[in-house]
Structure 1
Amino acid sequence: MPHPLAPLLLDASDPNALAEGVWPAGTERVDGALRIGGADVREIAAQHGTPFLLVDEMVARGRARRIREAFEAAFPAVDVYYAGKALLTADVARWMRAEGLRIDVCSGGELAIALRAGVEPEAIGFHGNNKSESVIAAGVEAGVGTFVLDAPIEAERVAAAAERAGRVQRVRLRVSVGVHASTHEFLATSHEDQKFGVPIDEVPELVARIRELPSLELVGLHSHIGSQIFDADGFAESARRLLALHAELGATAPLPELNLGGGFGIAYTAADSPEPIEAIAERLAAAVRDAADHVGIPVPRIAIEPGRWIVGPAGVTVYTIGTVKPVRVDDGTRTYVSVDGGMSDNARPALYGAQYSARIANRSSDAEPALARVAGHHCESGDIVVDAEWLPADVAPGDLLAVAATGAYCHSLASNYNATPRPPVLAVANGEVRTLVRRESLDDVLSRDVGLRPEAEPATAPTPSHVASIDQGDA
């Protein structure tokens, strides 16, 4: 009889199995233990401690190459930007450039990582809303290839920065096309009531203003309809709407490019079934050709911005189990398995109920499957890493637990909640492990607290008179 608390699509047949497409390609069990990229996770844990994020370099680079080749085969001209917000380190940026991808950044910090990693400024696209004037100036002065304008005021700000720098800055305009992607509400970014982009009916007036500014060159429109999208339908509809606008605007001045954004989905669990990226590229190319033919224009140069699709499946987070606690509820018993990380290294489940897959990593087991919920160590009831998973019933303190598909938006969203140092990011290639981002120490976390510096004077407690004045509203 099915467990009353288990999701219907959760497979209990083998709690040791590694679902294809969820774990990094080539992951296997050797003597019961997980081997990722040719390296034994037990040895990595012994050397580096837990938790850690392990990224299979060959998988990440292979997926970058695969998506670039898929879109190059489907379109006559295409640029693939790696969306750095998914996971950006110096080495990751270099991997992406080596595989022929450009880099998309959306903050001053991400820009600094890319530049210091040696990424050519002209290969960088600068994204995001509410870019500060100082960040815009830094990007313009560095020679960033393209800015994506998100609001009318950004046109003025980028134009002013470009004029001061004595250059003409290439820009795209982000358009809110009104397509609701088939994804979580918090991940859908191109419907009408949200912070990104310019409503489609306001675009012609803003484009006219951009074209009046001599220090700007408008090269195309941009749209991003959301994230974790499993098929091409939303992208195709967005492309149709954009191309109609593109044709209208291109009738009066050149408009050579069209950026269709990113958001291609991946499998986090065996129940997920994203369409192969080659099929998405082909279907999207067909929709773009049809739309271009309909409005009587050639297919423009296309750009896309994948991030999660490239690095998500390449990453695995490994924890150590601390406590195992069966909890009786009305409909049965759920086993709470607590690990030495949590929402500080993976905020996605707490942010929007993201689902993940987990396996014991240091051994296999013949024990019966038990329904488990993987919890973090933080002082929050919502600190859940994996909401529901079948693990062997003999799961025990000291076991290593691996959570798949954590390469994207885990390190990027990591925090120091509960004064917890952030874990390292490690890379593995052909059995060799190296550090991309070192583990934070407790000293790192405490170093920003000025009151803990040796020269800091102890804080003075308020006197009763101070308290009285505050109570009287004089403070």
Structure 2
Amino acid sequence: MASSAPVPGWLRVPDDANALAPLVWPSTAARDDAGRLVIAGVDAASLVAEYGTPLHVVDEADARARASQIRRAFDDAAAAIGTTVTVYYAGKAFLSGAIVHWVTEEGLAVDVCTGGELAVALAAGADPARIGFHGNNKSVAEIERAVEAGVGTIVIDSEIEIERVADAAARAGRVQPVRLRVNSGVHASTHEFLATAHEDQKFGVPLASAVELGTRIRSHPSLDLIGLHCHIGSQIFDAAGFAESAERLLGAHAELSKTGPVPELNLGGGFGIAYTSADEPSPIEEIAQAIAAAVATGCREHGIPVPKLAFEPGRSIIGPAGVTLYTVGTTKPVPIEGGVRRYVSIDGGMSDNARTALYGAEYSARIASRVSTAAPALVRVAGKHCESGDIVVDAEYLPGDVAPGDLLAVPATGAYCWSLASNYNHVPRPPVIAVRDGVARVIVHGETEQQLLARDAVLAASDLSNDRPMEGNPA
């Protein structure tokens, strides 16, 4: 939902409404001599001329560098406390064949949570032994496919799933490694966390049941309990919540260790990124070191060996590498308390970025096709959909001469934008273009109106979909 306040407290009038905040944009983002936004050596105007708008652009080198940085950060932190770590890329943030190649080549495993994501990971050549399979309602067919494929770990999310996974593994003649997802009672975001006795959510089992259910898992010869798993939230800027959650899980971990090995502890993901100039997430190296130190302290207190660790970052790898390009269609001034807000309408919206409507997420924006000397003006970037809540950027300052035909860039859209995209109002989903070293390539094809019509059984049967003009992106 859009904010009720005309200007959020964090937003300041910029000295330069053309400037690119370093933490918010891909590391290669800059302006060329003509003032156009350039990402990885490719300017936005050229991309739009070839592929149209809306357009998701991903900086391949930036994504790879972040994956490598996060892996090294956790490798170093784990080594400092005498253990090792597996870092999974959380595919739900954004998954495609290219992304699987990038993250696995940078040494990461892959985390999936549906049969479709598993299919992408396998088709892209990910080692099944380095795939983790999540989900609160995995179908029997999905479980069977994961077992038969040799997936490295299946995360058991409920009591019912113990029997389902055990049966599938027994039928396949396989001992299936599993983790048990536990609700630690800790929920975290940004610099705050809340610790309670219970957590009312659809994922995982209560902490109080972890030992009992872990013991039940061990009663099945077709299952191998390798550890507990927890996920405490999203967009987390520091280690405090992870430390509290680790301490809680280590109590159950210690109890289970009395009756058998528990080689691993998976503390999930949720590491935050900067969406606006006001966001200042802690460096991942500091977070990794603080989490590792908390695990080491907890293990000493419980008198147990330090387990192997696992983490599942997604947003922090792919989020900052993505930028979405739009074309401005209309602008109009709207009187608000204390002044005027200019509504800037673009040719995309909640069909390619649902996060603002879903979560009240905050984004930044800049004109991508030029620079301007006009004074900054308060704007709200609105989508084209027939919904009052179809807002992409709730509040931002852009040059006051922003006008129809301008290209607009919204950064930090690599995560949970294309992956949440829809065909609302029968708008085709846009393509995804990877850029690197001055070269652009399609990594996900965009849709056409013809393809949307072809899925309509009545229209396809009556051949009404033929010879219809295509509107929007041709890619």
User: Which residue of structure 1 aligns with residue 340 of structure 2?
Assistant: 333
TM-superposition CA deviations, 1:354-412 (whole Å, max 9, x none) = 00000000000000000000000000000000000000001000000000000000010
1:9 shift after superposition: 2.0
1:203 to 210, 213, 226: 210
Residues 317/456 of structure 1: CA separation in 2 closer, same or farther (3 Å cut): closer
TM-superposition CA deviations, 1:17-39 (whole Å, max 9, x none) = 10011000121001211000111
User: Which residue of structure 1 aligns with residue 445 of structure 2?
Assistant: 438
User: Which residue of structure 1 aligns with residue 472 of structure 2?
Assistant: none
User: Which residue of structure 2 aligns with residue 396 of structure 1?
Assistant: 403
1:454 shift after superposition: 3.2
- Residue 342 in structure 1 maps to residue 349 in structure 2: yes
Percent identity over paired residues: 64
- Inter-partner Cα distance in structure 2 for 1:448 and 1:208: 48
**Counterpart of 2:352 in structure 1: which amino acid?**
D
- Inter-partner Cα distance in structure 1 for 2:202 and 2:384: 33
1:190 shift after superposition: 11
2:67 to 41, 64, 67: 64
User: Which residue of structure 2 aligns with residue 217 of structure 1?
Assistant: 224
**Counterpart of 1:225 in structure 2: which amino acid?**
I
- Inter-partner Cα distance in structure 2 for 1:189 and 1:34: 46
User: Which residue of structure 1 aligns with residue 12 of structure 2?
Assistant: 11
- Inter-partner Cα distance in structure 1 for 2:188 and 2:143: 30
User: Which residue of structure 1 aligns with residue 384 of structure 2?
Assistant: 377
User: Which residue of structure 1 aligns with residue 52 of structure 2?
Assistant: 49
TM-superposition CA deviations, 1:268-296 (whole Å, max 9, x none) = 00011101000001111111110011001
1:456 shift after superposition: 8.1
Runs of 4 or more consecutive aligned structure 1 residues displaced over 4 Å after TM superposition: 187-191
User: Which residue of structure 2 aligns with residue 471 of structure 1?
Assistant: none
CA contact (8 A) 1:190 1:226 kept: no
CA contact (8 A) 2:29 2:37 kept: yes
- Residue 352 in structure 1 maps to residue 359 in structure 2: yes
1:311 to 318, 323, 326: 318
1:188 shift after superposition: 11
RMSD (CA atoms):
1.8
- Residue 321 in structure 1 maps to residue 328 in structure 2: yes
User: Which residue of structure 2 aligns with residue 146 of structure 1?
Assistant: 153
- Residue 364 in structure 1 maps to residue 367 in structure 2: no
- Inter-partner Cα distance in structure 1 for 2:455 and 2:232: 38
**Counterpart of 1:67 in structure 2: which amino acid?**
I
CA contact (8 A) 1:68 1:80 kept: yes
User: Which residue of structure 2 aligns with residue 283 of structure 1?
Assistant: 290
TM-score (norm 1): 0.93
User: Which residue of structure 2 aligns with residue 137 of structure 1?
Assistant: 144
User: Which residue of structure 2 aligns with residue 472 of structure 1?
Assistant: none
**Counterpart of 2:28 in structure 1: which amino acid?**
G
**Counterpart of 1:434 in structure 2: which amino acid?**
R
- Residue 426 in structure 1 maps to residue 433 in structure 2: yes
CA contact (8 A) 2:191 2:236 kept: no
- Inter-partner Cα distance in structure 2 for 1:188 and 1:255: 25
CA contact (8 A) 1:190 1:225 kept: no
Higher alpha-carbon deviation: 173-182 or 257-266: 173-182
User: Which residue of structure 1 aligns with residue 178 of structure 2?
Assistant: 171
- Inter-partner Cα distance in structure 1 for 2:337 and 2:313: 43
User: Which residue of structure 1 aligns with residue 418 of structure 2?
Assistant: 411
User: Which residue of structure 1 aligns with residue 304 of structure 2?
Assistant: 297
**Counterpart of 1:362 in structure 2: which amino acid?**
S
**Counterpart of 2:446 in structure 1: which amino acid?**
R
- Residue 96 in structure 1 maps to residue 103 in structure 2: yes
TM-score (norm 2): 0.93
TM-superposition CA deviations, 1:19-65 (whole Å, max 9, x none) = 01100012100121100011111000000000110000000000000
- Inter-partner Cα distance in structure 1 for 2:337 and 2:67: 47
1:433 shift after superposition: 0.3
